[in-house]
Amino acid sequence: MELFRYMEQDDYEQVVFCQDKNSGLKAIIVIHDTTLGPALGGTRMWTYETEEAALEDALRLAKGMTYKNAAAGLNLGGGKTVIIGDPKTDKNPEMFRAFGRYIQGLNGRYITAEDVGTTVHDMDLIHMETDFVTGISPESGSSGNPSPVTGYGVYKGMKAAAKEAFGDDSLTGKTIAVQGVGNVAYALCEHLHKEGARLVVTDINQAAIQRAVDDFGAESVEPDAIYDVNCDIYAPCALGATINDETIPIIKAKVIAGSANNQLKESRHGDMIHKRGIIYAPDYVINSGGVINVADELQGYNYDRAMKKVETIYDSLQKVFAIAKRDHIPTYLAADRMAEERIKSEYRSRSQFLLNSHHILSRR
């Protein structure tokens, strides 16, 4: 990859490669844009096949955070980290402490949280070295694990998408195909089950499937069979790029609404599902509950205030659907337009982030 050309194309600010031989840490922090404030985005730990794949994931995820935070009305920029390694076997406390020191070195330009493969415990280890970390243990005045809140936000957003598609936001009796029943989707399924939805789930982890079957009476299918399940809503809640040339022709759902980041393999796949008449809830709008929740720590965490803000995901999606209709564009472009307008209007009065007292987490 020609890194500088890639960075220039989408105007990335900074890429930091972190290596610590003692602990085995290999991490890439990407700061995409700090026009609205410090870059806030989680840390993903994953077994990437190549270093280039890890870099590409970090770059795409960081840009997604810029749009997510802007669309959610947060005064925060976008960034993300990937740690290369197997979260089941390669973790050690020294690794997260070394990573924490790298974050501290950025002096508040980047604030982290959980993502796939990292936990509250990992964030607590990072917190031993830096205050620029959210989603740490609630005993420290933090918001804790963001996943259940993300799941709640996806549930609210799914209702908005159902209203757009079916004229009614009730999910009672609807069939929902959920791909990946991990931390976020388990919480999502709990809300859906309570409302009387019928769940069809899949995962590559049998224990995760069994939990959904036992707790919510879900049916299960093999991972590759999830796309052509006869359902009303497809909820991608595993990894990205599952909306692509192979899956679009077989998806039967009228709505796509799930938690995964970067669901569209390429932008053109957003055009393809639009042409097929599928209502797509743009990923970074519907899955912003977690970041809204952790961002509240910057004001001294208040659960009720955070949840009220998470509920506005319903309104944000309604706004996206309205822009899409008004401008005759797919919903993913409508969301981009909404986020970009906010960044552009701020850009006139401020450019890159500089630390000030609003960005200090020590009062949480």
Ligand X SMILES: CC(C)CC(=O)C(=O)O
List, as residue ranges, the binding site for NAD(+).
Answer: 180-185
Minimum distance from CB of 105 to ligand NAI (Å)?
A: 25
Q: Please list the residues that pair with 233 across neighbouring strands.
A: 176, 255
In sequence order, which residues have a C-beta less than 8 Å from that of residue 265 and are 6 or more positions away?
240, 241, 242, 243, 244, 245
Residue 290 touching ligand X (CB under 6 A) = yes
Q: Number of C-alpha atoms within 13 angstroms, CB side, residue 255?
A: 29
Minimum distance from CB of 329 to ligand X (Å)?
A: 24
Binding to ligand NAI in span 219-238, by CB under 6 A: 223, 237-238
Matching residue, tokens 């899949």: 202
Residue 247 touching ligand X (CB under 6 A) = no
Q: What phi and psi, each to the nearest 5 degrees, are found at residue 111?
A: -120, 135
26, 63, 68, 80: the catalytic one is 80
Binding window for ligand NAI (CB under 6 A); candidates: 45-53, 120-128, 197-205, 268-276: 197-205
Minimum distance from CB of 44 to ligand NAI (Å)?
A: 7
Q: Catalogue the E-assigned strands of 41-184.
A: 43-46, 77-84, 110-111, 175-179
Residue 261 touching ligand NAI (CB under 6 A) = yes
In b/e form, how buried is each residue of 6-30, taking b as 16+ CB within 10 angstroms? ebeeeebbbbbebebeebbbbbbbb
Three-class DSSP category at 235: strand
Contact of residue 294 among ligand NAI, ligand X, none (CB under 5-8 Å per partner type):
ligand X
Residue 255 touching ligand NAI (CB under 6 A) = no
Residues in the chain, total: 364
Minimum distance from CB of 258 to ligand NAI (Å)?
A: 8
80 classed as catalytic: yes
- The count of residues interacting with ligand NAI (CB under 6 A) is 27
d(CA 213, CA 220): 7
Residue 38 touching ligand X (CB under 6 A) = no
Residues annotated as catalytic are 80
Residues that bind ligand X (CB under 6 A): 41-42, 68, 113-115, 135, 146, 261, 287, 290-291, 294
Residues that bind ligand NAI (CB under 6 A): 114-116, 146-147, 150, 179-185, 202-205, 208, 223, 237-239, 259-261, 287, 290
